[in-house]
Chain A
Amino acid sequence: MIATLEETPSMQRADSGNVVASLEGVSKNYGEIRALLNVNFSVCAGQVVALLGPNGAGKTTAVKLLLGLLQPNSGKTRVFGGDPTNPQNRMRTGAMLQVGRVPETLRVREHIDLFSSYYPKPMPLEDVLAAAGLKKLRDRKFGDLSGGQRQRTLFALAICGDPDLLFLDEPTVGLDVEARRALWEEIRRLVDHGKTVLLTTHYLEEADALADRVAVINQGKIIAEGTPAEIKAQNSGKRIRCVTALSVASLLRIPGVTDARQDREAVEIRAGEAEPVVRALLASDPSLSGLEITSAGLEDAFLALTQDSGENENHRN
């Protein structure tokens, strides 16, 4: 027994790198509407993976397929190497979905008590309440909770069974900054304990702050995948801001510049590498002032990616 207990953490670490959930060539249509097209996507043990995309990109569909709530039109969905609807797998997963209405006359602790009972080894109620920041709200009826408190209760229901794999569909929608950070902390803590998390979000900051890997999804297709740093590097590079006498047209002619636009009194330039561009700028405009160089955020990368894929789509049609 003791040996088994000691084995568990190392086993989980050895597990890391193993695929625990995947979509293999999955397409899903709702009648005429295409939600996902030939998506290949996997989540490895011990990671936080973010599915990032605008509204209607197919994020929720991907999660529902992995939860076995939907069946793909083609391709395969696998969780823990098997069918997502397998009850054994469900006992190892927790899910937070976007819900229109939750029974309002039950109290927070009653909802948790019921969901905990579905799992073979649930977390103690007190731990669940603490993790979701619900200690003071335990006796509150769901209908009397604020939007953010409701989200936290749904999070509590997702984690109460102490699952190995957690699906969080837009977990921080409606949370204030403080509650959002608290939830991030909680997600990090879960991963430190060997859990795997797939979250969907349209908050880039969230994907950047939490995810080991990000998959950017748009119009039903994965258009980029990698660490947040990789995606940023691939798609945006540096942002250079300065006040200059040079025209936008002449800035665009500088080698390495991918974009330049007037922004109030200054110009904003994008480039893969900042140094050669800055050298060229200073050489051709001695009066240049207010120079700032920043790494473009994931947001820029995301905008660049989703805009590109949108344009390609238009061309093809």
Chain B
Amino acid sequence: MSSATAVLSKTEIERWPSHTASIYLKEAKYEFLKNLRLRVYTASVISFPLMFYVLFGLVLNAKESIGNTHVPTYLIATYGTFGVMGASLFGTASGLASDRGLGWLQVKRASPMPPFAYFVAKVLVSMGFSAIVVFLLLVLGVSFGGVRMPLAETAKLIGTLVAGSIPFSAMGLALGYFTGPNSAPAAINLIYLPMSFCSGLWVPYMFLPKFVQQIALALPPYHLSQLALGTVGAGFHQSSAAHWEVLLAFTLICLGVARIGFQRDQGKLYG
């Protein structure tokens, strides 16, 4: 045994930081391609927010205003939040639940993949798809809804929503650890759809029933949508910092839950 160890120390292998960085990038690249080719994912994550936007923002209420904000502009912020939430939850939870439950994650764990590369890739790809959804909403709004925004404001809106992908990716990781391959999509929808409604992503917040408005204050998508609305001048009185704080706390809680699941998995058998 000792001689084996001696031989080994000679052939010790180091991985350069640049190599590690390239693994993270490659992991993210293939995670992106994987999801892009997955029609269930692109259809539900990209098409739904766009369809809603076209229907309620461009066809039906294009000439209306909410407060002082033109409806097509207002709805980019809310359907943008809705899209970001879908891209992030489906991008992380369903893949993780299925990889975990059906053995693929074990193959990855047995390989020398840096353990965090897998999770970072999922979060980066969720942010990427979030950016795509928001960008497409803007293209539709500008082309057909008469949306006009200064460049700085547009960048701020995109930046806010894409950053807003992080809390929901964290939530997706937590969900992915506590659902199975078959139950994950149902569990996501069970949370995603009611949460979207109650947060005022479909029906603007001020038109929601009073008690739903109360619930909204406790929901992360409400806070993200208020931040997004803030960038187009339609936010509420609360300060941006307060909304960010809620989202940060929510992210940390979700990561904590995901970590419990991660550690539980280290000693558990699937299949």
Contact = CB atoms under 8 A, between A and B. Distances in A.
Interface of A: 11, 14-15, 18-20, 30, 45, 61, 64, 67-71, 78, 80-82, 87-88, 90-95, 97-103, 105-106, 110, 113-115, 117-120, 141, 154, 157, 161, 167
Given A30-B269, A45-B4, A67 B26 contact: no
Interface in B15-31: 15, 19, 22-23, 26-27, 30
Nearest 3 A-B pairs (CB), nearest first? A100-B102, A105-B37, A81-B5
Contact residues of B: prevailing secondary structure = helix
Given A100-B103, A118-B23, 9 more contacts: A18-B7, A61-B269, A80-B4, A81-B8, A92-B11, A93-B110, A95-B107, A118-B113, A120-B14
10 contacts: A45-B4, A70-B269, A80-B5, A97-B106, A100-B271, A101-B102, A102-B104, A110-B33, A118-B112, A157-B107
A117 B26 contact: yes
Given A88-B12, A106-B30, A120-B15, A97 B110 contact: yes
Contacts of B8: 80-82
Contacts of A81: 1-2, 4-5, 8
B3 interface: yes
A15 B267 contact: no
A130 B205 CA distance: 60
Given A11-B7, A70-B269, A118-B111, A103 B26 contact: no
B103 A119 contact: no
A141 B27 CA distance: 17
Q: Interface centre among B8, B22, B37, by most A CB within 10 Å?
A: B8
Q: Interface centre among A19, A20, A69, by most B CB within 10 Å?
A: A69
A273 to B, nearest CB: 40
B34 interface: yes
Nearest to A111: B30
Contacts of B1: 18-19, 78, 81
B191 interface: no
A119 B112 contact: yes
Nearest to B39: A105
Contact of B110 (A90, A100, A101): A90
Contacts of A99: 102-104, 106-107
B111 A115 contact: yes
B261 interface: no
B73 interface: no
B206 interface: no
Contact of B38 (A15, A45, A105, A113): A105
A110 B8 CA distance: 31
A71 B266 contact: yes
Contact of A154 (B27, B107, B114, B266): B107
A114 B107 contact: no
Contacts of B99: 103
Contacts of B271: 98, 100
B208 to A, nearest CB: 39
Interface string B252-271: 00000000000000110101
B13 interface: yes
A162 to B, nearest CB: 11
A104 to B, nearest CB: 8
A3 to B, nearest CB: 13
Given A19-B4, A69-B110, A81-B8, A101 B104 contact: yes
A120 B19 contact: yes
Contacts of A92: 11, 13
Contacts of A94: 111
A70 B267 contact: yes
Contacts of B11: 92
B110 A117 contact: no
A161 B13 CA distance: 13
Given A100-B102, A101-B102, A106-B34, A95 B111 contact: yes
Given A69-B109, A120-B19, A101 B103 contact: yes
A80 B30 CA distance: 31
Contact of B13 (A45, A88, A157): A88
Interface string B96-139: 00110111101101111110000000000000000000000000
Contacts of B114: 87
B26 A113 contact: yes
A169 to B, nearest CB: 10
A15 B103 contact: no
Contacts of B185: none
Contacts of A18: 1, 3-4, 7
B216 to A, nearest CB: 36
Given A18-B3, A30-B269, A120-B13, A64 B103 contact: no
Contacts of A117: 22-23, 26
Contacts of B5: 80-82
A92 B271 CA distance: 25
B104 A71 contact: no
Given A91-B13, A95-B110, A98-B271, A105 B104 contact: no
A19 B271 CA distance: 29
B235 interface: no
Q: Interface centre among B1, B8, B99, B112, by most A CB within 10 Å?
A: B112
Contacts of B267: 70-71
